[in-house]
């Protein structure tokens, strides 16, 4: 037993203890990678749990629900459904996002029949009924708030809440507050009849929750229900509804996860880098152990066990760190990290042991995978040669140009594969394969990059270049570390800049007016009528205006509805008002209604310009032709643009949600805003008048939202870069520290410390420059995959390429400077002791 | 040319050199022998200006090393000293020619005179035909001959040779020692040869034995 321990001590624990810095570094990077991955996973899972819980509280014990779009469906459907065979309980719901009159924001109002709801949502309905003692859900103009709504609004039982309906104000007493456990959603419960009456939804329902009889054939009942459904309603299961809600944020969450895994990948690469360097340095020691009888197989296992130990320790630290990060991130930004996809109710973080174990295993796997190739290399070192030549290896790295080329082609092919399950999995694979191809190509690129460097009449620089040319394996590892981290940073920088630039250009294009007024949105209670708009148009300084109405459109029952934008449009001038990316010839069917769909709608429903559709509008199906596809960053689920006059004719809905104002020459925007406020102020309180925005304000707001959404990606990117810098540091410092003897010789020959520092700075700068150049090219390629494949497939939006020239130059300079500084600092460390003694092994 | 005057050096409580004195004239070639740990390497460090004595004085060509700062000592070493090591210590990424030319480059001697001097030395050590070879392509004897060329290329006043034959077979050792002696004579450079080998020491003009009591000179042969 003792002898076994001795071998393990010599082969595994010894090297780890001997190089505590290297061991600590690899532990830290694995910990960081795991921490990021675990934190993002926990946050994503919490978001999904929130959405599920919210959906669950809406459904209660229902097996199915009929969901209408924002316009709702006829309430006569309810008795028809209730009479169907196989149905045990039915609960009708009016579901309206109501605009708060005395503050910004919206609250979802659920109009329920408390006695019916009690059968499907017993806890919520019973509590709502119990709260009825001060006002009542039943029949009175009092509502019950969910706990989260009461907390967010700062209201309690006995207070009043004002909701804006059209442009009038409706006051409701708060009868009570439900405990959090009874109803998770941020909502208000109201008697269904009162909701229909007060919120302008007479005769309408938005949802019918259904519970089947115990012996009912679910498929048959579903078929029977579907036969009764109007075009703008669909039958869903609670799971399907949750999926739809999750789908909206799935791509965002998947991209965050991918970015977090990049950090783990970079950590794994650093393990590869440090292990390879360690094995290069320990060639003689490994050869000696082999000569003493340790088999190559055992040495392979030793290397992997060393990596696994590092991985386990790093991963354990990482999961603990990740848990803390997730907890703080949830408290700080909510479950969607500020992106606005999830309206957080009460993000609480719970972790089970299985999740901990999975991430510990993932971190360990990354470390072991990173050590795999070096472990194989260790077994291939020629024992006799290594014993003789010592630890210095001057063998050039093997160039696998053909393999790199094949992998690059595979990456190219993968980038043409469509989304799988609405996620750009092949796009991610393309990026991973391309990075691998780049790493494999580095020896060839290095040889080509160093060959044309001139011989300088400057001894430190000449020695530096000679050293780099002769130390291919070390140089390859250092350059690879730079390329891996820098290319990903460049790619993200180009992608984010392109997105931001495109968003800014898009905002400029779609906001041609001087001033915008929005009153309510899809399905909300607030809106303007024609008379009110006429009064607004009459304000001094207004030259002209256009109006818009927001509604919903269900194209396919198995898909969530699209946003319908009915806007004053001149079909001949649409290209001037929206950002058309594709359009059909104008000689399309004149009888069909012209519509323009967003890229997201085009992708989701596989639609193209020229295609004729039957649109469910105003309770009937209308023939429409797609005249064009437009770029839209506002409606992630997709939008359809239609002329408002046509919309009003077909639906009789003449409500207006948005008005764009063009000012007369010389008119003061402040005076016009004041005039509009005066008109609106006659009808609603002053504090609700802040939906007026100038063009500049809207642009600023959209960029603020963008920056908030991408803030977390910047954080993840910075962590990946820090890990990358660790990699560069490990690569260069290991290389420099292994050269103490050389420095000793140079000191004997009369090189000053400053000259050696200049030599090392030159080496670092050359390595940094090569890494930066390759990283820039690789990053540019990866950014194209991100822009044209990953983003398009994830979010269905196109963008133009904007190159952040100055930031890239600055980052390149910082990285080259960092590489030079790391080399110099490592050199100082290497020469800090009596470096001359390194050559005195024989004195 | 070299004056080592009552030099003492201690490392912690251990005194390695105590009151050691030594004098060497231009062109003189001596051997220092002694048991391991007796302070040979410490003495060479002090002579090379790589370390400073606790007391006493080391002067090369009249310049007291203690009066010089590290940069000045480095410049003095660069211009006036040459080194030959047991393990050769050629720079692996430089060709034979560039290894030999390195001291000239460090002393800012370039152009045709540098090329001629390198060619002359390589010719003298019998490696003119291998000037483009890499160190890894050479035998041990060849590497040490390159090291001798490198040590002498910039015409130093003093060469410090540390067990230059320690890694060589007897025949190569003989060749290297003969070559070193010939080149030293040709360039009128002084040399201190540190060795454990009586055979090697016998090729020098004088043998000094370093002991715990100090330096003892053996009778001239």
Domain chopping of chain A, boundaries = 1-59+246-393, 64-236, 414-511+695-843, 520-690
Q: Are B23 and B61 in contact (CB under 8 A)?
A: no
Give Cβ neighbours of residue B51 (< 8 Å, ≥ 6 apart). Answer: A834, A836, B9, B42, B45
What single DSSP character describes residue A554? Answer: -
A655 or A3, greater pLDDT: A655
Question: For the segment A674-730, what is each residue's pLDDT rounded down to a tens digit?
Answer: 888 888 774 444 444 447 888 888 888 888 888 877 777 777 677 767 777 777 777
Q: How far apart are CA A829 and CA B69, in angstroms?
A: 21
Q: In the block, which residue shows the tokens 């080399």?
A: A823
Q: Judge: A843–B162 Cβ closer than 8 Å, yes or no.
A: yes
Q: Is the dihedral of CA B201, B207, B210, B213 positive or negative?
A: positive
Residue from A742, A750, A838 whose CB has the most chain B CBs within 10 Å, to mutate:
A750
Please state the rounded mean pLDDT for residues B166-182. Answer: 85
A52 or A177, greater pLDDT: A177
Query: Which token pair is A329?
Result: 């991130």
- What pLDDT is attached to residue A555? 85
Is the pLDDT score of A244 beyond 90? Answer: no
For chain A, what is the mean pLDDT? 82
- What pLDDT is attached to residue A391? 47
Q: Kindly report the nearest CA distance between residue A475 and chain B, in angstroms.
A: 13
Q: How far apart are CA B211 and CA A812, in angstroms?
A: 59
Q: Are A484 and A727 in contact (CB under 8 A)?
A: yes
If you write DSSP's letter for every residue of A208-234 in order, what string do you get? EEEEE-TT--HHHHHHHHHHH--TTEE
Lowest mean pLDDT among A335-349, A720-734, B166-180: A335-349
CA-nearest residue to A393 within chain B is: B92
Q: Are A427 and A414 in contact (CB under 8 A)?
A: yes
Please state the rounded mean pLDDT for residues B81-110. Answer: 89
- What pLDDT is attached to residue A1? 47
- At residue A135 the predicted structure's pLDDT band, cuts being 50, 70 and 90, is very low
- At residue A273 the predicted structure's pLDDT band, cuts being 50, 70 and 90, is confident
CA distances in angstroms from A291 to A327, A391, A417, listed in the order given: 53, 15, 51
In chain B, count H helices and then E strands.
Answer: 7, 10
CA-nearest residue to B154 within chain A is: A749
B2-217 maps to CATH 3.40.50.300: yes
Q: Judge: B41–A840 Cβ closer than 8 Å, yes or no.
A: yes
- What pLDDT is attached to residue A520? 81
Beta bridge partners of A587: none
Give Cβ neighbours of residue B198 (< 8 Å, ≥ 6 apart). Answer: B33
Chain A partners of B166 at a C-beta cutoff of 8 Å? 842
End-to-end CA distance of chain A: 41
- At residue B4 the predicted structure's pLDDT band, cuts being 50, 70 and 90, is very high
Q: How far apart are CA A438 and CA A486, in angstroms?
A: 12
- What pLDDT is attached to residue A647? 93
Q: How far apart are CA A598 and CA A47, in angstroms?
A: 27
Q: Kindly report the nearest CA distance between residue A842 and chain B, in angstroms.
A: 6
Query: Which among A35-44, A98-107, A311-320, B84-93 has the top mean pLDDT?
Result: A311-320
Three-state DSSP at A105 gives: coil
A386 or B41, greater pLDDT: B41
Beta bridge partners of A564: A551, A640
Is the pLDDT score of B116 beyond 80? Answer: yes
End-to-end CA distance of chain B: 22
CA distances in angstroms from A297 to A16, A250, A300, A303, listed in the order given: 20, 45, 5, 10
Q: Judge: B74–A747 Cβ closer than 8 Å, yes or no.
A: yes
- At residue A313 the predicted structure's pLDDT band, cuts being 50, 70 and 90, is very high
Query: Which among A573-577, B115-119, B163-167 has the top mean pLDDT?
Result: B115-119
If you write DSSP's letter for every residue of A694-726 in order, what string do you get? EHHHHHHHHHHHHHHHHHHHHHHHHHHHHHHHH
B12: left (phi over 0), alpha (psi -120 to 50) or beta: left
Q: Judge: A747–B50 Cβ closer than 8 Å, yes or no.
A: yes
Chain B partners of A754 at a C-beta cutoff of 8 Å? 71
Is the pLDDT score of A412 beyond 70? Answer: yes
B102 and chain A in contact, CB less than 8 A:
yes
Q: Are A614 and A594 in contact (CB under 8 A)?
A: no
What single DSSP character describes residue A528? Answer: B
- What pLDDT is attached to residue A168? 81
A430 or B221, greater pLDDT: A430
Q: How far apart are CA B157 and CA A836, in angstroms?
A: 21
CA distances in angstroms from A170 to A101, A112, A165, A685, B173, listed in the order given: 8, 18, 7, 12, 108
CA A53 vs. chain centroid, Å, equals 22
Chain B partners of A461 at a C-beta cutoff of 8 Å? none
Chain A partners of B100 at a C-beta cutoff of 8 Å? none
> Residue A462: exposed, middle, or buried by beta-carbon count in 10 A (0-12, 13-18, 19+)?
buried
Is the pLDDT score of A742 beyond 80? Answer: yes
Q: Are A525 and A99 in contact (CB under 8 A)?
A: yes
Please state the rounded mean pLDDT for residues A660-667. Answer: 92
ipTM of the shown complex = 0.86
- What pLDDT is attached to residue A843? 37
Q: Kindly report the nearest CA distance between residue A17 and chain B, in angstroms.
A: 27
If you write DSSP's letter for every residue of A622-674 in order, what string do you get? EEEEEEEEE--SS-TT-EEEEEHHHHHHHH----B-EEEEEEPTT--HHHHHH
Element of type H or E holding A92: strand A87-100
Chain B partners of A464 at a C-beta cutoff of 8 Å? none
Is the pLDDT score of A808 beyond 90? Answer: yes
Please state the rounded mean pLDDT for residues B150-158. Answer: 92
Q: Judge: A459–B71 Cβ closer than 8 Å, yes or no.
A: no
- What pLDDT is attached to residue B97? 92
Is the pLDDT score of A138 beyond 70? Answer: no
Q: How far apart are CA B167 and CA B169, in angstroms?
A: 7
- What pLDDT is attached to residue A661? 93
Q: Cα dihedral angle (A630, A636, A637, A640), rounded to 10 degrees?
A: -30
- What pLDDT is attached to residue A132? 54
Share of chain A above pLDDT 90, in %: 22
- What pLDDT is attached to residue A684? 47
Question: For the segment A526-584, what is each residue's pLDDT rounded down to a tens digit?
Answer: 888 888 899 999 999 999 999 999 998 888 877 788 999 999 988 778 888 888 998 88
Q: Judge: A750–B94 Cβ closer than 8 Å, yes or no.
A: no
Q: How far apart are CA A517 and CA A772, in angstroms?
A: 48
Q: Are A106 and A535 in contact (CB under 8 A)?
A: no
Instruction: Nearest by CB to B83, from A469, A749, A752: name it.
Output: A749
Lowest mean pLDDT among A65-79, A192-206, A674-688, B93-107: A674-688
B1 and chain A in contact, CB less than 8 A:
no
Residue from B47, B69, B92 whose CB has the most chain A CBs within 10 Å, to mutate:
B92
CB atoms within 10 A of CB A50: 23
- What pLDDT is attached to residue A58? 67
Is the pLDDT score of A45 beyond 50? Answer: yes
A596 or A679, greater pLDDT: A596
Q: Judge: A843–B92 Cβ closer than 8 Å, yes or no.
A: no
- What pLDDT is attached to residue A685? 46
Show me where the domains of chain B are located.
Answer: 2-217
Please state the rounded mean pLDDT for residues B88-111. Answer: 89
Q: Which of residues 113-172 of B touch A (CB under 8 A)?
A: 136, 150, 162-163, 166
Please state the rounded mean pLDDT for residues A401-407. Answer: 91
Beta bridge partners of A549: A566
Q: Judge: A463–B194 Cβ closer than 8 Å, yes or no.
A: no
- What pLDDT is attached to residue A11? 64
Question: For the segment A141-154, what is each residue's pLDDT rounded down to a tens digit?
Answer: 788 888 888 888 88
Three-state DSSP at A409 gives: helix
B79 and chain A in contact, CB less than 8 A:
yes
Q: Are A599 and A631 in contact (CB under 8 A)?
A: yes
Query: Helix A459-470 to helix B96-106 angle, to the nearest 10 degrees?
Result: 160
Please state the rounded mean pLDDT for residues A226-247. Answer: 80
- What pLDDT is attached to residue A129? 61
- What pLDDT is attached to residue A382? 67
Q: Are A726 and A780 in contact (CB under 8 A)?
A: no
Chain B partners of A738 at a C-beta cutoff of 8 Å? none
Share of chain A above pLDDT 70, in %: 85
Is the pLDDT score of A263 beyond 90? Answer: no
Lowest mean pLDDT among A430-434, A452-456, A584-588, A832-836: A832-836
Q: Kindly report the nearest CA distance between residue A769 and chain B, in angstroms.
A: 21
Q: Kindly report the nearest CA distance between residue B154 and chain A, in angstroms.
A: 11
């Amino acid at each position: 037993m003792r002898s076994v321990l001795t071998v393990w001590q010599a082969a595994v624990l010894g090297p780890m203890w001997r190089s505590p810095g290297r061991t600590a570094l690899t532990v830290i990077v694995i910990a960081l990678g795991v921490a990021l991955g675990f934190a993002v996973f926990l946050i994503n899972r919490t978001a999904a749990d929130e959405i599920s819980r919210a959906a669950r509280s809406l459904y209660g014990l229902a097996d199915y629900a009929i969901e209408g779009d924002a316009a709702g469906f006829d309430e006569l459907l309810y008795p028809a459904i209730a009479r169907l065979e196989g149905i045990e309980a039915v609960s009708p719901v009016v579901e309206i996002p109501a605009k708060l009159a005395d503050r910004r924001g919206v609250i979802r109002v659920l109009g329920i029949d408390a006695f019916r709801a009690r059968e499907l949502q017993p806890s919520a309905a019973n509590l709502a009924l119990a709260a009825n003692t001060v006002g009542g859900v039943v029949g009175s103009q009092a509502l019950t708030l969910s706990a989260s709504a009461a907390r967010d609004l700062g209201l309690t039982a006995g207070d009043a809440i004002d909701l804006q309906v059209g442009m009038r104000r409706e006051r409701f007493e708060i009868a009570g507050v439900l405990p959090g456990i009874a109803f998770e959603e941020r909502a208000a419960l109201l008697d269904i009849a009162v909701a229909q009456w007060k919120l302008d939804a007479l005769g309408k329902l938005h949802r019918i929750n259904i519970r089947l009889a115990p012996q009912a054939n679910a498929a048959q009942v579903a078929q029977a229900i579907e036969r009764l459904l109007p075009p703008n309603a669909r039958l869903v299961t609670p799971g399907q509804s949750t999926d739809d809600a999750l789908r909206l944020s799935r791509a965002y969450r998947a991209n965050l996860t991918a970015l977090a895994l990049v950090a783990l990948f970079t950590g794994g690469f650093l393990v590869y880098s440090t292990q390879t360097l360690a094995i290069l340095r320990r060639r003689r020691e490994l050869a000696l152990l082999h000569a003493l009888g340790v088999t190559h197989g055992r040495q392979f296992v030793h290397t992997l066990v060393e990596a696994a130990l590092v991985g386990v320790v790093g991963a354990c630290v990482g999961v603990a760190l990740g848990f803390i990060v997730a907890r703080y991130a949830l408290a700080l930004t909510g479950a969607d990290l500020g992106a606005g996809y999830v309206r957080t109710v009460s993000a609480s973080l719970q972790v089970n042991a299985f999740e901990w174990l999975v991430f510990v295993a993932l971190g360990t796997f990354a470390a072991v995978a990173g050590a795999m190739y070096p472990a194989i290399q260790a077994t291939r070192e020629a024992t006799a040669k290594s014993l003789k030549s010592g630890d210095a290896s001057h063998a050039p790295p093997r160039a696998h140009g053909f393999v790199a080329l094949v992998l690059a082609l595979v990456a190219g092919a993968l980038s043409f594969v469509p989304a799988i399950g609405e996620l750009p999995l092949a796009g991610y694979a393309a990026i991973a394969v391309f990075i691998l191809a780049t790493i494999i190509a580095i020896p060839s690129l290095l040889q080509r990059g160093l060959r044309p460097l001139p011989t300088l009449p400057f001894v430190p620089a000449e020695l530096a270049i000679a050293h780099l040319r002769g130390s291919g394996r070390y140089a390859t590892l250092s350059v690879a570390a730079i390329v891996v981290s820098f290319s990903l940073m460049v790619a993200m920088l180009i992608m984010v800049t392109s997105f931001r630039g495109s968003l800014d250009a898009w905002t400029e294009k779609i906001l041609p007016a001087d001033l915008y007024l929005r009153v309510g949105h899809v399905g909300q209670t607030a809106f303007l009528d024609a008379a009110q708009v006429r009064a607004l148009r009459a304000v001094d300084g207004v030259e002209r205006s256009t109006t818009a109405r927001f509604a919903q459109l269900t194209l396919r029952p198995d898909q969530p509805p699209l946003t319908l934008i009915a806007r004053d449009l001149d079909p001949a001038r649409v290209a001037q008002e929206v950002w058309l990316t594709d359009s059909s010839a104008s000689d399309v069917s004149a009888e069909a209604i012209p519509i323009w769909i967003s890229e997201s709608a085009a992708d989701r429903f596989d639609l193209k310009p020229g295609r004729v559709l039957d649109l469910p509008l105003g309770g009937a199906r209308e023939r429409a032709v797609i005249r064009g596809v437009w770029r839209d960053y506002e409606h992630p689920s997709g939008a359809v643009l239609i002329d408002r006059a046509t919309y009003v004719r077909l639906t009789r809905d003449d409500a207006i949600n948005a008005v764009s104002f063009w000012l007369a020459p010389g008119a003061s925007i402040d005076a016009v805003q004041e005039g509009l406020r005066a008109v609106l102020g006659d009808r609603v309180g002053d504090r609700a008048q802040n939906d007026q925005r100038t063009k500049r304000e809207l642009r600023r707001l959209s960029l603020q939202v963008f920056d908030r959404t991408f803030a977390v990606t910047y954080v993840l990117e910075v962590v990946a870069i820090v890990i990358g810098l660790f990699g560069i540091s490990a690569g260069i410092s290991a290389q420099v520290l292994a050269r103490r003897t050389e420095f000793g010789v140079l000191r004997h020959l009369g090189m000053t410390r400053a000259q050696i520092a200049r030599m090392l700075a030159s080496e670092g700068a050359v390595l940094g420059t090569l890494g930066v150049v390759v990283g820039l090219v690789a990053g540019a390629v990866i950014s194209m995959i991100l822009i044209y494949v990953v983003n398009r497939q994830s979010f269905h939006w196109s963008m133009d390429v904007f190159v952040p020239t100055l930031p890239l130059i600055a980052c390149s300079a910082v990285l080259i400077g960092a590489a030079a500084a790391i080399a110099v600092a490592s050199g100082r460390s290497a020469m800090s002791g009596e470096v001359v003694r390194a050559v005195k092994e024989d004195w | 040319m070299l004056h080592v005057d009552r030099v003492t050096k201690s490392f912690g409580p251990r005194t390695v050199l105590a009151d050691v004195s030594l004098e060497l004239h231009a062109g003189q070639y001596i051997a220092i022998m002694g048991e391991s740990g007796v302070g040979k390497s410490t003495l060479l460090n002090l002579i090379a200006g790589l370390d400073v004595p606790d007391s006493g004085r080391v002067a090369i060509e009249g310049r007291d090393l203690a009066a010089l700062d590290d940069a000045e000592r480095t410049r003095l070493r660069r211009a006036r000293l040459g080194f030959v090591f047991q393990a050769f210590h050629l720079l692996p990424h430089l060709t034979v020619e560039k290894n030999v030319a390195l001291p000239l480059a460090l002393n800012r001697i370039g152009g045709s005179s540098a090329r001629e001097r390198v060619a002359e030395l390589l010719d003298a050590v019998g490696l003119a035909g291998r000037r483009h070879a890499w160190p890894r392509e050479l035998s041990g004897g060849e590497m040490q001959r390159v090291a001798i060329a490198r040590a002498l290329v910039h015409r130093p006043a003093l060469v410090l040779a540390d067990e230059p034959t320690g890694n060589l077979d007897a025949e190569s050792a003989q060749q290297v020692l003969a070559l070193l002696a010939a080149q030293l004579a040709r360039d009128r450079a002084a040399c201190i040869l540190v060795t454990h080998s009586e055979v090697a020491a016998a090729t020098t003009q004088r043998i000094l034995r370093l002991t715990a009591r100090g330096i003892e000179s053996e009778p001239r042969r």
